[in-house]
Structure 1
Amino acid sequence: MERIDTDILIAGGGIAGLLASAVLAEIGFDVICADPVPPVTDGAAAGADTRSTAFLMPSVQLLERAGLWPRLAAHAAPLRIMRIVDASAAEGALETADFVSDDIDQPAFAYNLPNWLIRREVLAHLQTRANAQLLAPCRVEGMLARSSGAIVTLSGNRQLRAPLVIAADGRNSPLRKAAGIAAKKWSYGQKALVFVVHHPDLPHENVSTEVHKSGGPFTLVPLPDAHQSAVVWMATGPEIAALNTLDDAAFAQAATARSAHVLGALTLVAGRATWPIIAQQAARLDGPRLALLAEAAHVIPPIGAQGLNMSLADLAALAGLLAEARNAGQDIGAPALLARYSRARLPDMAARIAGVDALNRASMASAAPLHGLRRQGLKLLHGVKPLRKAAMFAGLGAGARQAP
């Protein structure tokens, strides 16, 4: 049996696990990331993740400190305006509210990149780091927590010892379940269609647009090509199933209608992938020699770019505590330290899950009186400058600071 020693094992090689590997390696830890499936780094290959991720500014700052952002910035589309459009009026009139990054002295709210490309660039970065390694395919088959460290059994007849294991192994996290950490889960009866569109009539002008009607938002997120956008179309399960029966031309017509024509006619470039919409919240983020990260800790609907950015807020908090402990000569997997991590993240995590839950339920509303309330709420939020600025800072999340 091969025996491996490292400072930190990260279980899960999705975007969150790879980014965690890069951030923790940058601050001097020896890191091994194990994933059952090798990452797909070609957008045209089978199994490529066709979704995109918008990195909010606090996340961009974390990636800058890790030396990652120069690799990603060249491929990113800045999101300088967040536009919310209510298209629920029977007469077809649109209620539009623009939230502009200039109003809070930010160059952009976020920068958007395709997920497969993020994996490609982060992997290339990790290959330049002697203290970071990806094992894939490699499955975590068991973990034994002891006072001196964790002993982890890996596939391929390998055993690993580390002071700390980070579970970034997804919403159904085997490590979370093995540690006995409960997770509350609920469903909305929704699914999301993810795809890329071309809109030759109008450029996106770095505006991310959420169109609300009923069933869930239809979101157009800019890509580097001014005439291409990534789309997340949330609707009820039966609606998504019906849309998936359409050929590309009919589907593009349906997408154009649902977009309220805000970018003119849409044609399908890539996709369609379907994802279930759920929310999930772990009761705590720590276990013996174990820290939960990303979807092992929380899952939310894809609204307001909160999902992965919450994960990077987890990572920033954990990395700070680990560096502090190491510099003080302390155990990086000590129960007290991991409990501090959990206490630090749980309030913000719960607040964001509750906020996105409320937004999603409002976007699902189909009754006309509820549409009216949603419109009035949007007018109030956008029309009162202090409320508008507070909402923009709140959306940016941890690390954003409101000017006095």
Structure 2
Amino acid sequence: MPETSDKIHDIVVVGAGPSGMTAALLFASVGFETALVAPAVNQEDGRTTALLQDSVTLFEQIGVWDNLRSFATPLSKMRMIDDTRRLVRAPEVTFDSAELNLEAFGYNLRNKDLNRVLAEAAQEQANLTLFEDLAVSYDFGEESVSVFCQDGAPLKTRLLVAADGRNSQAREAAGIELRRWSYPQVAVVLNLEHDRPHNETSTEFHTPTGPFTLVPLPGRTSSLVCVVTSEQAETIKTMSKDDLALELEHRAHSILGKFGIASSPQSFPLSGLSAKSLVGPRLALIGETAHVFPPIGAQGLNLGLRDVASLGRLLTSARDMGADIGATEVLSRYESDRRSDISTRTFAVDALNRSLLTDFLPVQIARSAGLYLADKVPPLRRLLMREGIAPGTKRKTQAVRDNVY
């Protein structure tokens, strides 16, 4: 194995998903000598991502939002419909961003557009060196981490940021333990064309097998996340386009009119993951390296981008005070800052998903009562909307609107 060069980067990020690329861009933009190590960026991903307001603010900070905005569709309203057909059913609830004086809760765009814009920005970013390579092993020392790549020379860094996904080698090399779980569900995702306008409204049907969610895209198109059993997923994937369009229109109760299939269906078994620690020796975990849960409520990537924003603030503060950015005290502050948000979101998404799968009457009553109160009690509804955007949003809503957070 070749010897490591004398150069020591401030930060090396491994993994070039949206969280990893955003982290690398943020660190470089505030003056850290940064390297990004990952295979070629996936610019063919047909799925979509709903970016909530805090994520938009972060993309504004790193200078990519203007390029992303033309591909994004506002999510002005979020509607939840109980389609479980059980004895106890919740009322329909619509959350309107206008109640918070916001243009939208967030914006939906295709992952391939998001990845392409981030990759182009990374190519142009000063202080950021790109290594299109695969990190295969790590040596965690007292003063630096050595990152050994498949094809290139090893890299040294004061801080390693792992964004290499749920099967992270960096996390495993640091000996960080995990809690994993799975669900008897599969998410089928695809894009649809439809006759009626979506009016910038995301609609989530709660069904006995999980959420069936239509999220607006430009024009009369929407992305779909349909959570079903594994058997149902296989049936859906083998349908002809015409039969599939009719099946999905029936599941959507024709609220958007006639459907047309705009992309091939993809399927993903649902599972969850939570790292028992977000940090290791000169190591910080972000995104799906730290937490994974079902695609409910647009929480997954947005939670990961809040990891990035938190880590960026804390590292900048540590540097400005002359501290070692890889020191245990600095990383402990990141762990403390993020743990509550991650735990709360993981629990809430898991509980909502499991509440759809159970026939236990008290659970059905509790879920229905919660949605009933959200519909009938405006202060509670506004609180839920603020917390859905990000924890502590009541204190930050004005700052989000003014782009100063």
TM-score by length of 1: 0.92
| Alignment correspondent of 2:137 | 142
| Alignment correspondent of 1:14 | 17
| Alignment correspondent of 2:203 | 209
**Is the aligned partner of 1:266 residue 2:269?**
no
- Do the aligned partners of 2:90 and 2:367 also contact (CA within 8 Å) in 1? no
| Alignment correspondent of 2:120 | 124
2:231 to 222, 238, 244: 238
**Is the aligned partner of 1:30 residue 2:33?**
yes
**Is the aligned partner of 1:107 residue 2:100?**
no
Deviation at 1:283, TM superposition (A): 0.6
Counterpart Cα distance in 1 of 2:253 and 2:362: 21
Amino acid at match of 1:118: L
Distance 1:149 1:369, change over 3 A: closer
| Alignment correspondent of 1:44 | none
Counterpart Cα distance in 1 of 2:152 and 2:341: 40
Tell me whether 122-131 or 361-370 shows the greater mean CA deviation: 361-370
**Is the aligned partner of 1:355 residue 2:348?**
yes
| Alignment correspondent of 2:48 | 52
Counterpart Cα distance in 1 of 2:319 and 2:362: 57
| Alignment correspondent of 2:41 | 39
SS at match of 1:33: strand
- Do the aligned partners of 2:47 and 2:110 also contact (CA within 8 Å) in 1? yes
| Alignment correspondent of 1:152 | 147
- Do the aligned partners of 1:197 and 1:267 also contact (CA within 8 Å) in 2? yes
Distance 1:366 1:77, change over 3 A: farther
Deviation at 1:90, TM superposition (A): 7.3
Deviation at 1:132, TM superposition (A): 1.4
1:325 to 314, 318, 324: 318
- For 1:162-197, what per-residue CA distance to the aligned partner results, in whole angstroms no more than 9, with x for missing partners? 101111010111111111111101111111011000
| Alignment correspondent of 2:159 | 164
Amino acid at match of 2:318: A
SS at match of 1:401: helix
**Is the aligned partner of 1:178 residue 2:173?**
yes
1:250 to 238, 243, 250: 243
- Do the aligned partners of 2:272 and 2:293 also contact (CA within 8 Å) in 1? yes
Deviation at 1:260, TM superposition (A): 2.0
Deviation at 1:369, TM superposition (A): 8.1
Identity of aligned residues (%): 37
- For 1:325-373, what per-residue CA distance to the aligned partner results, in whole angstroms no more than 9, with x for missing partners? 1112221111111111111111111011000111111233467886666
TM-score by length of 2: 0.92
Counterpart Cα distance in 2 of 1:90 and 1:266: 27
Deviation at 1:304, TM superposition (A): 0.7
Deviation at 1:147, TM superposition (A): 1.8
Tell me whether 171-180 or 370-379 shows the greater mean CA deviation: 370-379
Counterpart Cα distance in 2 of 1:119 and 1:134: 15
1:222 to 216, 220, 243: 216
Distance 1:292 1:276, change over 3 A: same
| Alignment correspondent of 1:307 | 300
Q: What are the ranges of 5 or more consecutive residues in structure 1 without an aligned counterpart? A: 42-47
Counterpart Cα distance in 1 of 2:103 and 2:268: 31
Counterpart Cα distance in 2 of 1:354 and 1:188: 14
Deviation at 1:398, TM superposition (A): 3.8
- Do the aligned partners of 1:313 and 1:398 also contact (CA within 8 Å) in 2? no
**In angstroms, what is the RMSD of aligned CA positions?**
2.1
Counterpart Cα distance in 2 of 1:271 and 1:398: 35
Deviation at 1:401, TM superposition (A): 2.1
SS at match of 1:7: strand
Amino acid at match of 1:387: L
- Do the aligned partners of 1:87 and 1:95 also contact (CA within 8 Å) in 2? no
Q: What are the ranges of 5 or more consecutive residues in structure 2 without an aligned counterpart? A: 399-405
| Alignment correspondent of 1:288 | 281
- For 1:270-320, what per-residue CA distance to the aligned partner results, in whole angstroms no more than 9, with x for missing partners? 121111211111111000011001011000111111001110111111101
Deviation at 1:10, TM superposition (A): 0.7
Distance 1:90 1:171, change over 3 A: closer
| Alignment correspondent of 2:385 | 392
> How many residue pairs were aligned?
393
Counterpart Cα distance in 1 of 2:370 and 2:242: 36
Distance 1:148 1:373, change over 3 A: closer
